[in-house]
């Protein structure tokens, strides 16, 4: 299997836990629903940390000043997201995680190439994850409103 095919497969498969979390938020009560809601936020943090780690890993290919900025941004986004989760407010945590995804995509786009298959894949995956975060937030609001 080519690496490009594998990256597409793993990227889209990585959206499955988000979909499951949204589904569980809307349709499950009690323990399964609580598990889905908590798992969504924890999984989102894990993926955001992974994406921030790619910034860290690519920093060695940059000159000193951009390298420094890339390292600080990668760590700052993770700290921002962890602080959001520590609020214990799922809507706020999901919103801050969503902002983290958008910040990484924006930074990647502003500091590197934005053409070719990989940036297109990253944008599709990010915007899908953002949409799933919005659905998750809507599910939380519907649940708490009823």
State how far the Cα of 135 lies from the Cα of 59, in Å rounded to an integer.
33
Least trusted range by pLDDT, from 28-37, 40-49, 56-65, 125-134: 56-65
What is residue 116's DSSP assignment?
Answer: S
What is residue 6's three-state secondary structure? Answer: helix
Distance, in Å, from the CA atom of 145 to the CA atom of 65, rounded to the nearest integer, reads 48
The mean of the pLDDT values for the chain is 91
Write the pLDDT tens digit of every residue in 55-112: 887 777 777 777 888 888 889 999 999 999 999 899 999 999 999 999 999 988 887 7
DSSP 75-93: HHHHHHHHHHHHTT-HHHH
- 44 closest CA partner among 109, 95, 119: 95
Whole-model pTM: value is 0.91
């Amino acid at each position: 299997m080519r690496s490009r095919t594998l990256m597409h497969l793993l990227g889209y498969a990585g959206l499955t836990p988000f979909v499951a979390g949204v589904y569980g938020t809307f349709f499950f009560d009690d323990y399964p629903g609580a598990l889905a809601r908590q798992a969504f936020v924890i999984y989102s943090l894990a993926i955001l940390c992974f994406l921030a780690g790619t910034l860290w890993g690519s920093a060695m290919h940059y000159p000193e000043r951009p390298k420094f900025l890339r390292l600080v941004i990668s760590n700052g986004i993770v700290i921002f997201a962890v602080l959001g989760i520590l609020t214990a407010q799922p809507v706020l945590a999901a919103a801050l995680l969503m902002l983290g995804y958008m910040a990484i995509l924006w930074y990647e786009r502003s500091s590197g190439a934005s053409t070719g298959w990989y940036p297109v894949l990253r944008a599709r995956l990010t915007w899908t994850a953002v949409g799933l975060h919005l659905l998750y937030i809507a599910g939380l609001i519907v649940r708490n409103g009823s």
